[in-house]
């Protein structure tokens, strides 16, 4: 997971409530947050900083 790769904070976004529920249950990290919303409509109060690579992952 990105937090193990050195990310200070990670925000996971998925439109499916079941996926968010699964992620919250299986990835309990203090610097990870999961948001149930449409990624194309997603707005966040803080600015994201991505270094060199963008990672897109889907939890099953």
Alpha-carbon span 60 to 25, nearest angstrom? 12
What is d(CA 13, CA 42) in angstroms, rounded to the nearest whole number? 8
Q: How far is CA 22 from the centre of its chain?
A: 12
- The range of the structural domain enclosing residue 10 comes to 1-59
Examine the pLDDT at 59 and tell me if it is beyond 90.
no
Its pTM surpasses 0.85? no
**Binning pLDDT at 50, 70 and 90, where does residue 8 land?**
confident
Number of domains in the chain: 1
- Reported as a single tens digit per residue, the pLDDT across 9-54 is 788 888 999 999 999 998 888 888 898 988 888 777 776 665 434 4
């Amino acid at each position: 997971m990105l937090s193990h790769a050195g990310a200070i904070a990670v925000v996971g976004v998925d439109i499916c409530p079941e996926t968010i529920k699964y992620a919250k249950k299986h990835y309990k990290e203090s610097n990870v947050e999961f948001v149930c919303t449409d990624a194309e409509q997603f707005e966040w109060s803080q600015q994201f900083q991505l270094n060199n690579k963008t990672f897109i992952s889907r939890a099953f």
